[in-house]
Amino acid sequence: DIVMTQSPLSLPVTPGEPASISCRSSQSLLHRDGHNYLDWYLQKPGQSPQLLIYLGSTRASGVPDRFSGSGSGTDFTLKITRVEAEDVGVYYCMQPLQTPNTFGQGTKLEIK
C-alpha cells in the first residue's frame, strides 16, 4: 500500500494568516499521463468530507482561490493564503492512483 504522511497533525492559525500542510507519499504519484494523482479534502466539524483539490493542483468547483495545491512525485503541499474562521476542520490528502486508495492521518486546523 502507498503510505501517506501529513505534517503537521495540528495547526493553530490566526485569522488572516497563511497556513501550509505537507503531504508525502511512499511512492511517486506522478502518472505517465503527466498528472500527479493526489487529492485534498476538508472535513468540517460534524460534516462529510468535501473535495478541495484534485490532481495535485486543480481546485474543485466552488473552492475559494485562497486554497492552492502544489508539488510533484512524492511531496505535496496545500496552502491557504489567508485563513478564515470557516476553514477550521481536518484536512486529508489522499492518493487515488492505486487501490487501496490511502489517506493521510489528517491535519486539524484550528483558529487561535
Give me the amino acid identity at 85: A
Strands 75-80 and 67-72 turn out to be antiparallel
C-alpha cell recorded at residue 21: 500542510
Reduced to 3 states (helix: H, G, I; strand: E, B; else coil), residue 85 is helix
Residue number with CB closer to other proteins (72 or 105): 105
Residue number with CB closer to other proteins (20 or 101): 101
Contact 67, 53 (CB under 8 A): yes
Residue number with CB closer to other proteins (55 or 88): 55
Q: Where does this chain bind other proteins (CB under 8 A)?
A: 1, 37, 39, 41, 43, 48-51, 54-55, 60, 90, 92, 94, 96-97, 99-106
Q: How far is the CB of 14 from other proteins (least distance, A)?
A: 26
